[in-house]
Amino acid sequence: QAATVDYVNPAPYEGVVGATLFEDVQFMQGSSGYVNKLGKVDAGWYQLTLTDFVFPTAFQDLRVAVTTATKVVSILDLKDGFNQAIGYLQLNDRDSYYLSVYGVTQSAGFALYGVQLVQFVASPVPLPASLVLLMSGLLAWGAAGMKRRTAA
């Protein structure tokens, strides 16, 4: 069953995926895991994606966590037949971060996963046309009022 689930937080605002901070695709067999040091990052919102490619078999359990040395920032967990989870998390530039992946395959065979952490960049919000019209009307009204005062 192919599905995308948001387990952590919804997107903080409209935006686009920016620079990739971490990306990895690996096979696992049995019960396995690893930790990767991300180090210092730029402050801002990040999109974390975890994918079970269901090739050659699916994972029984697959998780990814972003942590500091002392606290868990975010955990994505694939379960209930879903093969992709996307979450959004806010990181600061004061802490050093780690990314941990843990998986258990359904059988003694291999399973393939992918994990990606990218910076989430805000899209510029355009001014609505009605705001421009309102501002020009207020400006014209103020100019007319000043003209009346100077004429009197």
User: What percent of the chain clears pLDDT 70, i.e. is strictly above it?
Assistant: 82
- Tell me if the pTM is above 0.85: no
pLDDT in tens, 37-55: 999 999 988 999 999 998 8
Extract the runs of DSSP E, i.e. beta strands, from the chain: 4-5, 15-29, 31-40, 44-56, 59-67, 72-78, 84-91, 96-105, 110-122
- pLDDT per residue over 1-39, tens digit each? 344 444 455 666 666 778 899 999 999 999 999 999 999
At 38, give phi and psi (nearest 5°).
Answer: -85, -30
